[in-house]
Structure 1
Amino acid sequence: MNRRKKIKQLLEAHAKKASAKKAPRKKSTYVSKADRLKLAAEATQDSITAPESRTAPTSEP
């Protein structure tokens, strides 16, 4: 009985690990605080420059 139980436990553990590998990753990658600040600064610069470029008149020939 003991041997069967051990084998069963091993097979269940391997199956659990295999299914965990197949499962999609729930966590996104970590972004450091400095990188978040850079991204926020770029986003604000883009949002500031975007309206200016839209309102600029374009002359077509």
Structure 2
Amino acid sequence: MNRKKKMNNILKKKIKKSNLKLQTSNKPKYISKAQRAKLAEEENSQEQE
């Protein structure tokens, strides 16, 4: 019983990991506040030129 349970748990973990890798998110990548400010500054300098 215990061996079966252990093997099943291992297989379930493998399946869960593979499913997580297949899932993709539509959420945009996080950009820090400092990075956003830097990008905005660069954009403004390009517009002025």
Structure 1: runs of 5+ lacking an equivalent: 50-61
- TM-score, structure 1 length as denominator? 0.56
- TM-score, structure 2 length as denominator? 0.66
Q: How many aligned residue pairs are there? A: 46
Partner of residue 8, structure 2: 8
Identity of aligned residues (%): 43
Q: 1:15 to 1:3 in 2, by over 3 A?
A: same
Runs of 4+, deviation exceeding 4 Å = none
Partner SS for 2:11: helix
Partner of residue 57, structure 1: none
Structure 2: runs of 5+ lacking an equivalent: none
The one-letter amino acid paired with 1:16 is: K
